[in-house]
């Protein structure tokens, strides 16, 4: 199960990296060095964040999931 989870996380990061290249090409504007640097750093930070989030979710998979709350009214005397 862990191998499948690692493959899925790797595929997600790889997909994000592959999509970042055309995204950068779409917004790249010749002659605007500051904008292009900002865009490149933003995309790199997005990929790094995806890697760290993937690691976090992989390590804490048992703790992350559907939240269930006890909805019984403890003040009710049923008996």
What range defines the domain where residue 40 resides? 2-59
Q: How confident is the model at residue 78 (pLDDT cuts 50, 70, 90)?
A: low
Indicate whether 34 belongs to any domain.
Answer: yes
> Which tens digit of pLDDT belongs to each residue from 26-36?
777 888 889 88
End-to-end Cα distance, the chain: 45
- What's the predicted TM-score (pTM) here? 0.54
Indicate whether 68 belongs to any domain.
Answer: no
Indicate whether 77 belongs to any domain.
Answer: no
Can you give the pLDDT at residue 20?
A: 77
| Cα(77)–Cα(61) distance, integer angstroms | 38
Indicate whether 79 belongs to any domain.
Answer: no
**Number of Cα atoms under 13 Å in the Cβ half of residue 31:** 0
Say how many domains are in the chain: 1
Indicate whether 74 belongs to any domain.
Answer: no
Indicate whether 64 belongs to any domain.
Answer: no
Instruction: Please choose, from the candidates 39, 63, 50, the residue with its C-alpha nearest in 3D space to the C-alpha of residue 17.
Output: 50
Q: Which H or E run contains 28?
A: none
Mean pLDDT of 30-50: 85
Indicate whether 75 belongs to any domain.
Answer: no
Mean pLDDT of 7-18: 78
């Amino acid at each position: 199960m862990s191998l499948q989870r690692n493959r899925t996380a790797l595929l997600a990061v790889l997909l994000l990296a592959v999509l970042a290249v055309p995204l950068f090409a779409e917004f790249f504007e010749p002659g605007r060095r500051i904008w292009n640097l900002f865009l490149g750093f933003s995309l790199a930070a997005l990929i790094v964040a995806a890697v760290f989030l993937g690691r976090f979710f992989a390590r804490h998979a048992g703790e992350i999931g559907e939240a269930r709350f006890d909805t019984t009214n403890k003040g009710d005397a049923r008996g």
